[in-house]
Structure 1
Amino acid sequence: MLFYILLGFLLVVFILMAWRLGFGIYPKPYLGIPYNEESANRITGDIPSLVPVIQAINEFSSSIFAITTQKLGKPIAQMLFPAIRKPLIILEYPREIEDIVLRRNKEFDKAPMAIDAFAPMFPHASLSQFTTPKLKAQKRLWADVMSAEFLRKAAAPNIHKATLELLDLWRLKATVYKDRPFSVHEDFQNAALDAIWVAMIGEEPDVTRHEIKKLQSQVAGNSDYKNEPLPRGTFLKEEKLETYTPRYRKFRKTVTTEIGLAMEKAVSQFQRLEMGNLEAEEFDTCMMDLVLRRQVLEAKKAEQPLTNPREDQSMLDEMFVMLVGGHDSTANALTWFVRFMEAYPATQAELRTALKAAFPSGNPSVEEILGTDIPYLDAACEESFRLAGVAKGNLRQATVDTEILGCKIPKGAEVFMNYHVNHTPAPVDESKRTAGSKAAAAKFGDGFQSNAGRDLGAFEPRRWLVKETTGQEVFNAHALPSLSFGGGYRGCSGRKLASMEFRIVVSLLILNLEFLELPEDFKTMSASEKIFRQPDKPYARLRSL
């Protein structure tokens, strides 16, 4: 009821503003782009069609695609609003989306709507900025922390340790819950938080170890452990959408304090080092260390005082984004993986067979997991990212007059793109695709016309595998457009970290646990979408191997 009251109030405000500014009150569609004709003839546009769909499926992005492109059977359409707000262009053709994010950065940039969504939480992070010289300098500052070499050094061992502790927790839960399902989402959040906090800050919060001790105390009938202080970093699991509220301001203050203390400690250590030592990368034990050491080095070379890191809002926000995104999105993706393993037992068995063949001696080291070529593992990870759709969609704004699939896109128009490749897209006229898109299809093939594009609603890792002339199977990263992390200059900066973490966690889970069939009430694949898309039933029933 409150939702309808708020929606009605906003519509009245829209209409009054339009009237006072001299605008018409009916939607004004862009020329040449499909839209719902009945929506163009009502003041509220597509909004009355959108509301019941959101209420039915609880996924905002999916609801938009359902009432536009999918309803019209078109790869591109527009969502109509009252005239004071321009239409939102909807794009649901993966190959063209991939072309935009990878090869058309001079035509499209971050959309104002996307900036407005994240700026209240991280106002100075690269996520909340348009492409400017300031943004480019900020991205260069953090580029090396996401290099494969640095991640293997600073993050991989901690991810491996956090996963082994998660296994300890789940073995304990298997004895406590016996044959009953239990929720895995928060456990994944804790393990991912353990991994990203130490990789970013250099300190171990031991959140999962805390949960193990708490459960052990509960089993033993000891109630004293509930009074133990929470580990560092657990505040990141709080709700982060309630911006402009006292609760959010308190949350933000806690973040700034915790990160600021760690930054001051690191800077103090680096300022005591001689120039020669400051240039040595051996002191970089975490991501924060690498960035701060270089800043101290530059200040000493220039013989200038170092800015207090606690006052560097850009750095604080960038770390905030990595901590939040690094644990929350990964936890959701891993929760989906567990759901897929339960729903597709034959695939789970095939993945376990591949891993046992690669690691016959048992639990592999982190070096073995990351250094061993296992095509089926690569395929299972990529398929999980594809079907989970954790980051469902993204927004871009046209920075020049341009075209998409033959439709004229005026400068300033905002485009909402579906990153979730889980169904066959509507057909397009190939002659209307860009030269870059055609060239990519000629080089890598059109996966939607091959086995890779069949039954996209199912979990099938083999769609990512091809046989060479020798008969050996190899992983084909280009079997389908890979949009889970976006792409190009404005793509997810944590892609390498997330992929590495996923590979380590999946390998150890499948080698040590079997995910058993759930009761019927738990088998749904329905989801809810907040910042990320997560399963409504994040449960597992497991057996130790």
Structure 2
Amino acid sequence: MAPQLHNKTMQMIKLWKLKSKLAHGRAFWMADDITNMMLDAIMAFPDDNDSPVEFPPGPMPALADPLIALTNSLEMTLKSPVPKLHHWALRQLPHMRKAQALKEDMITEQLEKAARRFVEGSVADEDSRCLIDEILRRETQTTAKEKRPPAYKSRSMYDELFGILIAGHDTSSSSLLWGLKHLSNNQSAQHRLRTEMRRALPQAAAEGRPPTITEIVALRLPYLDAVAEEIFRTALTMSAHVRTTTEDAPLLGYTISKGTNVFMAVNEPGFFSPPFPISERLRSETWKAGGGGHAVEDWDFVDFGEFRPERWLVRDDDHESDGKEEGEVVDPSQAPQMLFSLGPRSCDVDTSTGKWIGYQLLADIGYGLTIQAPVVVVQGISPPQDISMAGSIVILIQNLLGGIWVPVGQNIFGNQLMNTIRRLRPEIDPTMVVSTGATEIRRVFSAEDIPAVLEGFMQGLRGAFILGTACASVSVVILIVAFFIDYHVLTHGQPPRGRRPRVSSKCHRNSRPSCYCW
């Protein structure tokens, strides 16, 4: 009983210290605490339960749930057999539309605040309060060299910030979790890291406090860098990376065309196991000119499946580290490593003319090849007396649907155009942009307004193109369903299997089978 009473009493004293701090010197009621403490001491039964304790989650910021929803939508899209159509359908859901709107408003607000800091001069040339400040600073420097006004609210700026927001929190938390797991499972690495950090930070160790951010930034500790490299190597936050070729690239006797998305797995042979043997005659001239990859061939893959930060350290007698007597430095070539990166891959204001014209040509050729198909089909399957009526119905439906969906696409284009301009450049009248037209915008609007206007047109076109893609997808589904319908029964009156037709009394004996009854 005495140990339990002492333990619960010390917990109660800690509780009183916390209450006293929160009360700011004012009195507080403590009789119930003593009663509850004694009850806890009496009821302190041995706890043999080793299962983890689950704490209820705390309240999340208002933007947390929308960002998580948008992040999860990317994962669902990547796993879908029809990713573009799946993501388009997700974006139509009410909670996704709300999440998208909150995300856009948040980025717009932060961009406006950062732009005001630059205008007011509260941000020095080398002083960035956050990542947005640094991005805007680089945009300012780039526009100064290119002699154009900065486009702080371009679509690419929004996408870049959102990509950093998603990739930054998700991959960082994943790598941190893997780092804690590896250090927990490898006590020797954890002990060495702790020892060397205390040796390199004697003041923080003597005062029994965590190191400050200034001390951490100024720290030069090779083993700490080696631990970080090993965590990144083994965490595998992304199992594959994507790069787009900027020119025709020879690879092992084949040519990868310019603009091809190349998926490179980082958990396959060459990272944790020896690479596949490749004949020298298949190697490209650039590979041979670069030294033939001898550094890669010298890797020892025996322990690459283990967590061992020491693999990154090499002896350097010319340098002396802060944490060790002998000089050690981190050599990035000591093991395979490929950190993730994913660039934009959609049509944008900078998309080449050949690319977007090629998409339109492909769509127009498809429309031209299929527009007459329904008319030809009904002429082949309809009775002679019904051909004119069937053809008229098909043409009527084609023109009727065209009359419906073309205005819908126009409305989507106009709404997206005006909403984007209102968000990026509120001082511009969107109706003036619509009345001006695409061919005259550079003459009517100033250079500062052009990026927002172009982005508005791009968003409008994307919405209209998505509508066309959705309609085409629905037609494909209808075509697939039609294959499962016995059109002979619907058109020529062929009897179902196992049944004989009888002639209707209302039809002549020499009538076509379409007058048969079943």
On whether the aligned pair clears a TM of 0.5, the verdict is no
Larger RCO (CA under 8 A, 6+ residues apart): 1
Which range, TM-score by smaller chain?
Answer: 0.3 to 0.5
Task: Please report the TM-score for the alignment, with normalisation by the length of structure 2.
Answer: 0.43
- For the pair shown, the structure with the greater C-alpha radius of gyration is 2
Question: If each structure's strand is expressed as a fraction of its own residues, which one has the higher value?
Answer: 1
Task: Please report the TM-score for the alignment, with normalisation by the length of structure 1.
Answer: 0.41
